[in-house]
Structure 1
Amino acid sequence: MKYGKGLLILLLLQWAQAQFPATMVDTLLQTGKYDEILRICQSELLEDSTSYEALFNAARAAAFKQDYDTALRYYDLFLTHYPHDPDGHLGKGRVLAWSGDYPRAELEFLAVTDTFPDYTDAWVALGSLYLWWHQPEKAIAVYTRLLEKEPTNSRYYFIRGKQYLAVNETVAARRDLVQALKLGYDRDQVDPLLKTLSRQVVTDTWSAGLVVQHDRFLPQNESWTALSAKVLRNFSHGTGLLYVTNNSRYGKQDQALLLDSYFDLWPGAYGNWTHQVALGADFLPLNTYRLEIIQSIGLGWEASGSYGHMNFPHSNVDLYSVMGGKYAGNYYGRLRYLLAISGPNMDHSLILSLRRYLSSAFNFVDITTGLSTKLFKNVYLGDALSQSGSYFAVVMVQHRWNGHYLTQGQYALRQSATTQFDWMHSFLLSVDYLF
């Protein structure tokens, strides 16, 4: 076998250590009496300069004392006489890692894992090194190897999930963090990371972009157009996105400012506040605002409730909604109920969305469909309430490319609930540059 000789050496060393337990040394280490251990070992080395126990324990004592230069000298002497000892290489690697010499520490740990691939302590040490060294891709590979051996270790899933998050692999991060919870890992450590994942993770501080939307209504062949410029700023506990829009309808133009912000709340929850102000409105509402609170309820589930208000010159609209969502692997599903009330008129909508994440949270395909029922006062029937229905479907694709560009395309089809227009086709294109 490829590893037969190395495995035999490891078994023999473990047998030798079992026959001669260093209980006294361990007791002295636990009580911090490092100088006494060094004195005992130096005395033994005067009688036998190649003593396995004396060299190894002297190196350990110096390492615990944080006298790394002395520890390395003892480990070098030890490995001169016992060059194939895995614990010697492992101990030397740990001292090098503690002293900040990560490249040399990596070589020592790899010397052990290459020769003794089943030595778990060496893999754990290598994984810890990559965490300190900020090498998330290598850390992911190590903890994947550890999970192959211990598939129910919740700590390994938690650590690997954090490393996936560090490289914006948010789908894989969510999968590992949820699995860590299922296996009993501390919810107080997992929930803050899952809350971060509930909104799109963006490591870039600033972004700016343009949005073009064109709506065409048939058979009247009426067109609406909106052109927006936007700037996004990321903060440690949220984001702020500002839009400046120019809207063209019915041969008229309205301009508006829109703020769309996300912010952290209590553990497992975050909020979304949007506020639009029209700059002299002909057809847009003078003011529109909406607050939504989203709460994670564990194992990939989340729920939300929201209230919004639209203030037109001659009427007001109140908007209420509740939502339930579920993350499952690379998928996110969401069902939302929306109620819009304006005087005696009410509009009930049921909206179902399914998102398929691709390589990261930036890249996905989203399909949304919904039904709407409108109750309104019919002046032709003596102000009696009448009912009409509509349906719609939306397909959205988003992709980040070349590191700094984020593009989003969207197509929507809607059968109008009113008799003014029968069909609406909507096209949207958004391009952002991330700084």
Structure 2
Amino acid sequence: MKRSSSSGAAPWSPSRAFRTLRPWLLLALAASPPYLMAQDVAPDALTAQMQQVRELATSGQRQLAIKRYTALLAEHPGNSDLLLARGRTYAWDGQYDAAEGDLRTVVQNNPGYADAWSALGDLYRWSNHPQQAADAYSHWVELAPQDAAARIARGRALRDAGQFAAARTDFDAAAARGADAGEVASLQQSLLPRITSPDSTTVDGYRWGATASWDHTGFSGSRQDWNDADLSLRRYFSRGSLALELLRADHFGSSNTAWALDGYVPLWSRAYANVRYQHGPSNGVLPQQAWRMEAFQGVGRGWELSASIDHLHFSSDTDFYGIGVGRYVGNWYARYKLQYVPGVGSGSWSQRLVVRNYYRGDADDYLELSISSGRSTDVARFGSVVRNSNAAIGIAWAHYFSPHWGFKLGAGYANDDGGYDERRLWLALYSRW
């Protein structure tokens, strides 16, 4: 028979004693100094190693960092964090193919890894693949819909791809999610078309555009008036455009026609080119052949540089070489261009300044002032004449009165060195669909 205690209490046991003492032990631990408590968990060894290697990469020792990441991957094969880190470092070093391999592996194995999609988008944007960058950033946006940085990143890529309306939507969304107001304003301004290249990209999803223009020049004295007309049909692509033009010039009582192809092509990030070829009559007021190439490069915040070559062939050849610089400030845009014609002595230089105000804050409506002097100030106008003006001034108003229809109306005056005063009027009608 079991012996009971004289007091009648339950028999002692270790588990019962621990339950009795546990509250007191917890209070004692809570009151103990930090050094008496369990030490903070030391950083994971791999995390610490990755931090050391990242410091190598960000300090410029990218090749060494890549070797260290590769060694760690041999110990931890398939680790997404290591592949992401090495992929980013490859991209920083310009090794885009290797970077794509690492980052693609990460997103395929872990499609919910937002940082990996962000890094993949950066890679494609840096390597001048804006549409692929936008696609990668779209995954980032889906995974982090309230992240303003994701919207800005995709907006930049869409802008580089020529999808201005979609880019504007992303920039607006970033502003609504707390992005810096000044940064968003600068990005929105970057969507305004360059003054020399309104046809370089599609406008708000339109794929076709047509223009009909008429230009009249009256002269002082007995010199006959000039009349010029132009019809063009332009096809816009996701990046760039191509137009077929029919031109007619009536000068000195003689009329000629010509046709031309005028295209805009993307080059690399924030760069594109205008390439044009015109074919005219064997002799007359229009050149037999004319071609031009002008390249544009965006730099900094709101700046654009350009360089151009124009070639006209009548009975002999004339070449024009130009450089230009443009700048946005708010809704204002100004561009200065200097041109040189070899072999014509003191009349070989021309200068042109154009200032625009986008008074409604969009890309369609603006007021324009132009001032110029020197040889070939209006070589872009039909490529038909080589002129030398002492001074010229012009004003113009462009306005879209509906989403599909617009016009540009202008007037100008020039004092030609041949002793004639010129008075110009021009009108252009625009349609897009």
TM-score band by shorter chain is 0.5 to 0.7
Superposition pairs of residues 170-209 of structure 1, within 5 angstroms: 194=190, 197-198=193-194, 199-200=197-198, 201-202=202-203, 203-209=205-211
Structure 2: gaps of 5 or more residues: 1-137, 377-387
1:267 Cα offset (Å): 1.2
Amino acid at match of 2:368: D
Q: Secondary structure at the match of 2:403?
A: coil
Counterpart of 2:165 in structure 1 is 166
Q: Is the 8 A contact 2:168 2:191 kept in 1?
A: no
- 2:424 maps to 426
CA distance in 2 between counterparts of 1:347 and 1:355 reads 27
Q: Does the C-alpha gap of structure 1 residues 285 and 160 become closer, same or farther in structure 2, counting only changes over 3 Å? A: closer
Assess if the C-alpha contact under 8 Å between 1:277 and 1:286 holds in 2.
yes
Number of the residue aligned with 2:352: 351
Change (3 A) 1:169 1:354: farther
2:418 aligns to what SS in structure 1? coil
CA distance in 2, matches of 1:312, 1:344: 20
Partners of 1:155 and 1:180 lie apart in 2 by 13
Q: Output one character per residue of 1:129-154: Cα deviation in whole Å (capped at 9) or x when no partner.
A: xx88xxxxxxxxx99xx9xxxxxx76
Instruction: Kindly indicate whether the alpha-carbon contact (under 8 Å) linking 2:279 and 2:288 is maintained by their aligned counterparts in 1.
Output: yes
Conserved? CA contact 2:233–2:245, under 8 Å: yes
Share of identical aligned residues, percent?
21
Per-residue displacement from partner, 1:189-210 (whole Å, max 9, x unpaired)? x89x958954435131112231
Secondary structure of the equivalent of 1:248? strand
Residues 410, 428 of structure 1: 8 Å contact kept: yes
Q: Which secondary structure does the structure 2 equivalent of 1:243 belong to?
A: strand
1: distance between equivalents of 2:374 and 2:287?
21
Cα gap change, 1:245 to 1:327, in 2 (>3 Å): same
Residue 226 of structure 1: SS of its match in structure 2?
Answer: strand
Cα offset, 1:229, TM superposition: 1.4
- Tell me which residue corresponds to 2:233: 231
1:429 to 1:266, Cα distance in 2 relative to 1, 3 A: same
Aligned to 1:316: 317
Looking at structure 2, the residues matched to 272 and 398 of structure 1 have their Cα atoms a distance apart, in angstroms, of 22
Deviation string 1:16-63 (CA, Å, 9 cap, x unpaired) is: xxxxxxxxxxxxxxxxxxxxxxxxxxxxxxxxxxxxxxxxxxxxxxxx
- Tell me the distance in 2 between the aligned counterparts of 1:410 and 1:262: 25
What is the SS of the residue equivalent to 1:166? helix
Distance 1:180 1:354, change over 3 A: farther
Alignment partner of 2:417: what SS? coil
Residues of 2 paired with 1:360 and 1:232: CA distance? Answer: 21
Distance between the aligned counterparts of 1:312 and 1:345, measured in 2?
Answer: 22
| Structure index of larger Rg | 2
Q: Shift in Å at residue 347 of structure 1?
A: 2.4
Match of 2:408 in 1: 408
**Cross-structure match for 1:364:** 366
Tell whether 2:299 aligns with 1:297. yes
Matches of 1:223 and 1:425, distance apart in 2: 10
Q: Could you say which residue in structure 2 is the equivalent of 1:247?
A: 249
- Preserved CA contact (<8 Å) 1:309 1:317: yes
- Aligned mates of 2:180, 2:324 — CA distance in 1: 26
Question: How far, CA to CA, are the matches of 2:255 and 2:207 in structure 1?
Answer: 33
Distance 1:183 1:206 in 2: 32
Aligned 1:23-422 pairs, distance under 5 A: 165-166=164-165, 194=190, 197-198=193-194, 199-200=197-198, 201-202=202-203, 203-313=205-315, 315-342=316-343, 346-357=347-358, 358-372=360-374, 390-419=390-419, 421=420
8 Å Cα contact 1:155/1:180 also seen in 2 = no
* Aligned-partner Cα distance in 1 for 2:418–2:323: 25
Q: Describe the shift of the 1:182–1:403 C-alpha distance in structure 2 as closer, same or farther (beyond 3 A).
A: closer
Distance 1:181 1:277 in 2: 49
Q: Which amino acid aligns with 1:224?
A: W
Q: CA separation of 1:373/1:250 partners in 2, compared to 1, >3 Å: closer, same or farther? A: closer
SS in 2 for 1:219: coil
Change (3 A) 1:169 1:430: farther
- Cα deviation, residue 280, structure 1: 3.7
Q: Distance in 2 between matches of 1:168 and 1:342?
A: 47
Q: TM-score, normalised by structure 2?
A: 0.53
Q: Which has the higher helix share?
A: 1
**Would you say how many aligned residue pairs link Structure 1 and Structure 2?**
265
Instruction: Check 1:157–1:328 CA distance in 2 against 1; reply closer, same or farther (3 A cut).
Output: farther
Which residue does 2:384 correspond to in 1? none
- Give the C-alpha shift of residue 289 in structure 1: 0.9
Query: For the residues of structure 2 that align with 1:181 and 1:351, how far apart are their CA atoms?
Result: 34
Cα distance per residue 1:59-84 (max 9 Å; x no partner): xxxxxxxxxxxxxxxxxxxxxxxxxx
Tell me if structure 2 keeps the 8 A contact 1:195–1:296: no
| Contact kept? 1:285, 1:311, Cα under 8 Å | yes
CA separation in 1, counterparts of 2:321 and 2:337? 10
CA contact (8 A) 1:195 1:268 kept: no
TM-aligned CA deviation for residue 239 of structure 1: 0.9
Q: What is the one-letter code of the residue matched to 1:393?
A: I
The one-letter code of the counterpart of 1:166 is: A
Cα deviations across residues 75-132 of structure 1 (Å, max 9, x unaligned)?
A: xxxxxxxxxxxxxxxxxxxxxxxxxxxxxxxxxxxxxxxxxxxxxxxxxxxxx9xx88
